[in-house]
Chain A
Amino acid sequence: MTLLSLQDLSITINGKPILHDVSFDIRAGEIVAVTGESGSGKSMTALGIMGLLPRGATATGQIDLDGVDILRTEEAALCKMRGNDVGMIFQEPMTALNPVQTIGDQVAETILVHRAAPKAEAMTRAAEMLERVGLPNDRFPLSRYPHELSGGQRQRVVIAMAIALRPKLLIADEPTTALDVTTQATILDLLRDLVDEFGMGLLMITHDLAVVANMADRIVVMQHGHLVEQGATDDLLRNMHHPYTKALFAASGHKVSLPTNSHSAPFLSVQNVTRDYRTPRKTLFGKPGTFRAVNNVSFELNKGDRLGLVGESGCGKSTLTRAILGLEPVQSGTITLNDAPVFSGKKPNADVRRKMQVVFQDPYGSFNPRHRVDRLISEPFHLLDTPPTGAARSDAITKALTDVGLTPADATKYIHEFSGGQRQRIAIARALITDPELIVFDEAVSALDVSVRAQVLDLMAKLCRERPLSYLFISHDLSVVRTITDRVLVMKSGEIVEQGATEDVFQNPKHPYTQTLLEAAPTLPDDQATR
């Protein structure tokens, strides 16, 4: 039975076309995944179905939900429909809940606003629904506030809110993108169970093709507002027709080939490093508590090593990164580069610092918007005693830009003139300009679309072939770490629980946490074959 049917849906916002003639169906009990890169219009499709398009948007075509054309329905009737016939969950669980209202009230509100039950009964049903999504009442009473819950728990509340009246259709817009991989697995399991139990249709919007391949009955692939291909999951994965679909899946499972590392001399040495943070006092006159972000961590990085560091949010990997870069002091232990300490006394050691550079995650926040590219990428020259000037300086800038696949003319542009992928190239150029011996990539490809990510990974592999490059690659994305590193550290709760050659760790994880992590990570069918 067809539950939702989109026919020739087109959307423009202030005259700018966003969607072009999109048509697909969802049947009851079916999971349909809409996938594509940023700007493909997939989220706008979801908002269109909810009748929640932003101001200035106009939609044409037809959205038929169980016999009702949403585009031709009054707002009052749409309000009755939302929450009742169709529920929606969002990407960011940290902000999707009202911070000043209890979770019980927020779940019960779905029932109350549709006058489905009196207040007392609504609260009982809210409690049942929270129990159903995995928040038992004895541990998560209705009187809890959102800030008292973790991200995964909040996402469960959002799901409870969306399904409290057992809607026929649930729309999930990137429901697990903001979550850790182990949490993601449990939320995806929950969604799958709910679809089976309630016989709902589930429309999943996600950019993560591995999630798509594992969850969906049918896949819809979108690009620049066009639907390029759709089909049953198995068929589509086996038999892709559209070149974009092929490119997308290829980029998602993209592998690079790194040259072999012939060096073996220890280079960066981290010995018994511990870093504590103070936490607020529990009682008024009590001692402030401490939180141990990094606990007795030791590892070595040899010259030419491509070392990965994986772990979930809050595991201490960012703290460790900052300590290695000399941005923060450590409580105990030593970090040395070529036997020279990163931190000498209270001050960072300038001699060591000039041998390290860093590439950050966010291509939009990594650059001062008021400086030109030449000034941006030459900033590390500040570390040198005699920075190049004049022609030498512009030669260095030209070389750095060409090395990362940009043109010398880009030096005079401002950062807003570049796309996310280009900005990440500029970030790499900045890191390369002083020829550092170690580069730290801090989630450097995590914010990029898969096709752009594949290009940046290729660039890194190319650089490894051209010069002796050692790097520490920090990421939560296991598939990327697997291809771009040759050794890996697994971090959990401030400790390194496992380390070894990347392929060994992935093929044969020893520590239970590593096993859980690899188990939870969704994989594309091709990966499963090699496992």
Chain B
Amino acid sequence: MKGLWIGIVLTVVFLALALVSFVWTPFNIEAFDIPNKLKSPNVTNWLGTDQYGRDILSMIMMGARTSIAVALLAVGIGMAIGVPLGLWAAARRGSLLDELIMRGNDLIFAFPSLVIAILITAVFGAGAINAIIAIGIFNIPVFARLTRGAALSLWERDFILAARVSGKSAFRISWEHIFPNILNLMIVQGTIQFSLGILAEAALSYIGLGAQPPTASWGRMLADAQTLVSFAPHTALMPGGAIVLMVMGLNLMGDGLRDVLDPRIRVDRT
């Protein structure tokens, strides 16, 4: 229970930072202030400044926007495609369609996700949209598998048989009986995938394949900090700490939600 509240607080803080950045940041991050470069955390610049003298707190707020948007949309893609696919496969369990959907999922799983994300961004160009697509594609099989697995066990339950005896179609049963009963599971897994999306976005933008400047992103801040870390460690510690806290917050929230919503459900954690 304690974990859940810590998770919620951390998540809400970062969401708030991202939202506030739309209307206000402590400093304007587009203006360079070279004389003030690489300042350690102090009263004016709470988290210090980077090599161009930009305020790191302001950049983290702007970066939160990018991270959250990319990860959330990627989870959205995964859910919007994966959940219906999983429901569909489960409704036609044992059929060729089920087999095709599941083999397709296995195939995506067989690809090292980061490599494919690199391939996609390499071919279609670096940028936030391609990062969202690349991360989103790998969320599809996660949700499809989880949905199918949970739905399959529900299809065996007597209340589904009762609905079938009442003449309801597979589509209607999936919508009316299966979906509401796997919703909790999806919320929990969605939280976990959200956190993985934050990490993936950071990795992609670290290697220069994520959001492009002037859009701020945590991964890019870390890439910039790499050569500075020996004499200005805060340039690496601050954005990295932001990633860790945000991801940890989401994970704690996911674990806590699972315990609260349904202690029996199991979540894929890879």
Contact = CB atoms under 8 A, between A and B. Distances in A.
A and B touch in the complex (CB under 8 A): yes
> Most chain-B CB neighbours within 10 Å: which of A348, A367, A379?
A379
B266 interface: no
Nearest to A440: B165
Contacts of A430: 162
Nearest to A358: B165
A4 to B, nearest CB: 36
Nearest to B157: A365
B163 interface: yes
Contact of B162 (A353, A366, A369): A366
Interface string B162-192: 1111111000000001001100000000000
Contacts of A250: none
Contact of B158 (A348, A356, A366, A382): A366
A79 interface: no
Interface string A336-353: 000000000000101001
A370 B162 contact: no
A358 B167 contact: no
A356 B177 contact: no
B159 interface: yes
A232 interface: no
B161 interface: yes
B166 A383 contact: yes
A361 B181 CA distance: 21
Interface range for B: 10 to 19
Contact of A360 (B158, B167, B180): B158
A243 to B, nearest CB: 35
B181 A354 contact: no
A362 B158 contact: yes
Contacts of B158: 360-362, 365-366
Contacts of B162: 358, 360, 366-367, 379, 427, 430
Contacts of A327: 161, 164-165
A429 B180 CA distance: 24
Size class of A's contact patch? Answer: 20 to 34
A380 interface: yes
Contact of B181 (A368, A379, A381, A427): A368
Contacts of A365: 157-159
B165 to A, nearest CB: 5
A505 interface: no
A325 interface: yes
A62 interface: no
Contacts of A350: 167
B161 A360 contact: yes
Looking at B161, B164, B166, the one whose CB has the most chain A CB atoms below 10 A away is B166
Contacts of B157: 365
Contacts of B159: 365-368
A335 B235 CA distance: 77
Nearest to A356: B165
Contacts of A295: none
A40 interface: no
Contact of B167 (A362, A367, A383): A383
Contacts of B166: 379-383
Contact of A354 (B161, B167, B177, B180): B167
Nearest to B167: A383
Contacts of B177: 368
B181 A348 contact: no
B161 A358 contact: yes
Interface in A63-114: none
Contacts of B161: 327, 358, 360
B181 A325 contact: no
B106 to A, nearest CB: 19
Nearest to B181: A370
Contacts of B164: 327
Interface string A373-411: 000000111110000000000000000000000000000
A357 interface: yes
A369 B163 contact: no
Interface string B136-167: 00000000000000000000011101111111
Interface of B: 157-159, 161-168, 177, 180-181
**Smallest CB-CB A-B distances: 8 pairs:** A360-B158, A366-B158, A380-B166, A383-B167, A365-B158, A365-B157, A382-B166, A379-B166
Given A327-B165, A379-B166, 14 more contacts: A348-B167, A350-B167, A357-B165, A358-B161, A358-B162, A360-B158, A365-B158, A365-B159, A366-B158, A369-B181, A370-B181, A379-B162, A380-B165, A380-B166
19 contacts: A327-B161, A327-B164, A327-B165, A350-B167, A357-B165, A358-B165, A360-B162, A365-B159, A366-B158, A368-B177, A368-B181, A370-B180, A380-B165, A380-B166, A382-B166, A382-B167, A382-B168, A383-B166, A427-B162
